[in-house]
């Protein structure tokens, strides 16, 4: 792409427009700067709300894939790439998933997570190579994340995913009317011009984070990782998570701290098993059998029913 063509493309992007409400921010006192940022942030949730139908479609695709042994891959650059990696890295401790189930890939590789790697996002071929290196399979879902929609690295990964037969999702903060990339689901929360022109780590980044939270949280609810509104598949890998596990067991069953500690030990530190053991008054082996029959759903296991397909 020539410099003039790129310049023309950038100046017309929704994410690159000037915000008329913040033109005086450079002379504003600190309190006013913060008010302006906060006021603009209020627009983000409404923009995401307008995309709930598309987000629903995306979650359904992911659930079907993960149930069939597929995985979810995020591909992004800069802020978008880091947000994908953040969401992916939080799934194992929160939901007890294998690290391979949700993965984030960023232009420039591991180094780019901590420091900008300039130019890594500028070639579609880099996205294609990263896609191949990640070992993506046709059964997987590939989600591109690019506030501007145009990031070549992300487009390269999406094109490779389409060629392989993967289901594809794209999260962008440009209008759907200007979205021209072939994907199964496009999620387009348009948050308007940034407080600082082109700084998409702000409202656009917040919108992307909100959407990613929705995608994985709703998916994990659908996969039985939540009981009522509590995490019950979390991994007890640090003291905070150990105490959260004990508190969850205490909250659901009404037993004491000491009893919850012993119960979790008897359940091999598995919260779901502990809950079924206590509430159904069964052995660990029977609790595990009921959970397996219920596809991991605690509520169904407590009713000793088989989960529907």
* Sheet with strand 167-171: strands edge to edge: 102-106, 72-76, 141-145, 167-171, 185-187
Label residue 163 exposed, middle or buried (CB < 10 Å: 0-12, 13-18, 19+): exposed
Task: Please spell the DSSP secondary structure of 267-280, one letter per residue.
Answer: TTT-HHHHHHHHHH
Question: Which entry of 16, 57, 60, 90 is annotated as an active-site residue?
Answer: 90
Label residue 268 exposed, middle or buried (CB < 10 Å: 0-12, 13-18, 19+): exposed
Catalytic residue flag (residue 118): no
- Crossing angle of the two packed helices 203-222 and 52-67, in degrees rounded to 10: 50
Catalytic residue flag (residue 32): no
Question: Which entry of 51, 121, 124, 194 is annotated as an active-site residue?
Answer: 121
**Catalytic amino acids?**
90, 121
């Amino acid at each position: 792409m020539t410099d003039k063509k790129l310049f023309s493309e950038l100046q017309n992007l929704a994410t690159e427009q000037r915000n008329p409400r913040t033109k005086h921010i450079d002379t504003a006192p600190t309190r006013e700067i913060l008010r302006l940022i906060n006021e603009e942030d209020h627009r983000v949730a409404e923009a995401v709300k307008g995309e709930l139908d598309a987000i629903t479609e995306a979650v359904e695709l992911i659930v079907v894939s993960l149930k069939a042994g597929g995985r979810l891959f995020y591909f992004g650059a800069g802020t978008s790439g880091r947000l994908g990696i953040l969401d992916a890295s939080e799934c194992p401790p929160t939901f007890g998933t294998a690290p391979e189930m949700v993965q984030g890939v960023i232009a420039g590789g591991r180094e780019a997570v901590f420091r900008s790697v300039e130019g890594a996002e500028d070639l579609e071929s880099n996205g294609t190579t990263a896609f191949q290196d990640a070992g993506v399979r046709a059964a997987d879902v590939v989600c591109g994340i690019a506030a501007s929609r145009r990031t070549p690295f992300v487009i390269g990964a999406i094109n490779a995913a389409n060629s392989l037969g993967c289901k594809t999702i794209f999260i962008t903060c440009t209008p759907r009317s200007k979205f021209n990339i072939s994907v199964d689901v496009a999620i387009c929360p348009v948050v308007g011009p940034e407080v600082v022109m082109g700084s998409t780590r702000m409202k656009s980044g917040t919108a992307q984070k909100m959407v990613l939270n929705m995608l994985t949280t709703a998916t994990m609810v659908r996969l039985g990782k939540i009981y009522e509104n509590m995490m019950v598949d979390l991994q007890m890998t640090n003291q905070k998570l150990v105490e959260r596990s004990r508190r969850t067991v205490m909250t659901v069953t009404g037993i004491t701290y000491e009893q919850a500690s012993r119960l979790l030990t008897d359940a091999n530190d598995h919260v779901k098993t502990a809950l079924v053991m206590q509430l159904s008054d069964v052995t660990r082996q029977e609790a595990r059998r009921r959970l397996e029959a219920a596809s991991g759903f605690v509520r169904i296991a407590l009713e000793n029913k088989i989960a529907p397909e």
